[in-house]
Amino acid sequence: MKIEFTLNGSPAMVEAPAGISLLTLLREYLNLTGTKEGCAIGECGACTVLLDDRPVNACLVLAPQVGGRKVITIEGVRAPDGGPNDLQQAFIDYGAVQCGFCIPGMVLSGEALLAANHRPSRKEIRTALAGNLCRCTGYQQIVDAIQTTALRRREKG
């Protein structure tokens, strides 16, 4: 079937079977491999993308469900110059990245939180990340990066 939606700000149209997940659509039909598969049952959050600005596990969304809607993947999170945006830069600066496999999902969960809450407490950040498993970092530097970005974005207004 034909699936039409807005992908990272641009219109997208894909011919794909109806029974596949959004994760498969992104990775196998659109070659957007920044979205990762860690469990395929919606437990690990490695495949987190934004669907109409809300974080979802792409492995649990049927591809046709995104028809007419807005999807943001890690490939759509960039500074205007194409480099890392402020949150991604904070992940680098705070040492929040180790193996990196969970990081695209973490960045998107972080962006979703920061869009909804400009002044998140550390507890609120931890709650927002509770669906994104990380086996390397112990989460602390990821929380640091998101908290600092929130502060800097508030200062910038």
Partner 1 sequence: MPETKFVGKPATRVDALEKVLGTARYVDDYRLPGTLVARALRSTVPHARIRSIDPTPALKIPGVLAVITSEAFVNHGRFGYPVQDMFMLAYERVRYAGDALAAVAAETEEALRLGLAAIRLELEELPGVFDPRAALEPGSPSVGERPWDSPDLPRGNLLNHYVVRKGEAEGVLADCEVRLDEEYSTMHQEHAYLETEGALAVPWPGKNGVTVYANCQSPFLARGNIVQTLGLLQENVRVIQPPVGGAFGGKDDLMYQTVGQVAKLALLTGRPVKMSFSREESIIASYKRDAMQMHIQLGCDPDGTLRASRIHAVVDSGAYAAITPFTAWRSSIHAMGPYRYEACHVDVDVAYTNNGYSGAFRGFGNTEVCAGIEQAVDELACRLGMDPIEFRLHNCLRPGDATPHGQVLGEDVALADCLEQVRRISDWERKRSAIQAAQGQAILPGEIRRGLGAAAVFHGMSLGAEGADFAISTLAINADDSLTLTSGLTDYGTGSRTVFTLIAAETLGLQPERIRMLRPDTDTSFDSGPTVASRSTVMGGNATRVAAMRLDSLLTQAAADLFGCERMQIVRHDESYISPDEEALPFEQVVQHARSMGLTLSAQGRWDAPENYWSFEKGEGKPYFGYHFGAQVAEVQVDTGTGKVDVVGFWAAHDTGTVIFPQGVLGQLYGGITQGLGYALMERVDYDQGFIQATNFDEYLIPTSLDVPEIVGVFVEKPFTPGPYGAKNIGEPGMIPTAPAILNAIFQATGRRIRNLPANLERVLLGHDLRKEGSNMACKLGLQSKGG
Positions in the binding site for partner 1 (CB under 8 A)? 23-24, 27-28, 31, 33-41, 43-44, 46, 73-75, 77-78, 84, 88-89, 91-104, 107, 122, 125-127, 129-143
Residue with smaller CB distance to partner 1, 34 or 64: 34
CA pair distance 113, 120, nearest whole angstrom: 8
Q: Please, what is the minimum distance in Å from the beta carbon of residue 102 to partner 1? A: 5
Q: Please, what is the minimum distance in Å from the beta carbon of residue 53 to partner 1? A: 18
Q: Please, what is the minimum distance in Å from the beta carbon of residue 112 to partner 1? A: 14
